[in-house]
Amino acid sequence: MRVAVLASGAGTNLQALIDRVHGREGVELVAVASDRPAAQALERARAAGVAAEAFVLGADQNRAGRDRAMASWLAERETELVVLAGYMQLLSPEFLSRFPGRVINVHPALLPAFPGIGAVEQALEYGVKVFGVTVHFVDEGVDTGPVILQRAIELPDAREPAEVLERLHPIEHQLLPEAVRVIAAGAVRFDPSNPRHVIVDR
């Protein structure tokens, strides 16, 4: 399976994909795109020999135009699955229509609880003691697509977002490559009786 990754920052989840699934079990990372030219994720991609490109908004280009250019670049590389790994932009409906049912995201919460930006901050404010990570398909809503994998962790004494995120990052680094692996193996199926549910055969 030919996989592209979108990332906005340091790219630690991208590195986990490079280390754990790239070149294994039929998975090949073929492209990494970012909305930030200085994103460390682009350097990680180039160091691994993966094509990397930044797509930023220009004075004469809106978000839809940026996404259109990015989608075409990914399509030229015959991308079969798009992975959002810390990509901090909402994708346009047109972009998603280019890769129907083939865009996934990793989110630092147990969806459907605490969607959107600041998920950990939301959870702390609510007073939860159990946090977690979700990998899900992306639809036109905000973190509303069908869940693929989830893992929870109890942090009853957590008080600061940075503390929680530090504990969640290793889970992200395990769960996201695992999701790519099972999708590549054809082990993820949409439930015809419930389009918001997927079946994972492991």
Catalytic residue numbers, as ranges? 107
Q: Do you find a cis peptide bond into 112, omega within 30 degrees of 0?
A: yes
The most distant pair of C-alpha atoms in the chain lies apart, rounded to whole Å, by: 49
Closest alpha carbon to 49 in 67, 63, 31:
31
Cβ pair 42, 85 in contact under 8 A: no
Six-digit token pair at 149? 């994998």
Distance from C-alpha of 39 to C-alpha of 36, rounded to nearest angstrom: 5
Helix (H, G, I), strand (E, B), or coil: what is residue 74? helix
User: CB under 8 Å to 143, separation ≥6 — which residues?
Assistant: 105, 107, 111, 112, 115, 116, 134, 136
The amino acid present at 101, given as its one-letter code, is: G
Name the phi and psi angles at 159, rounded to 5.
-130, -30
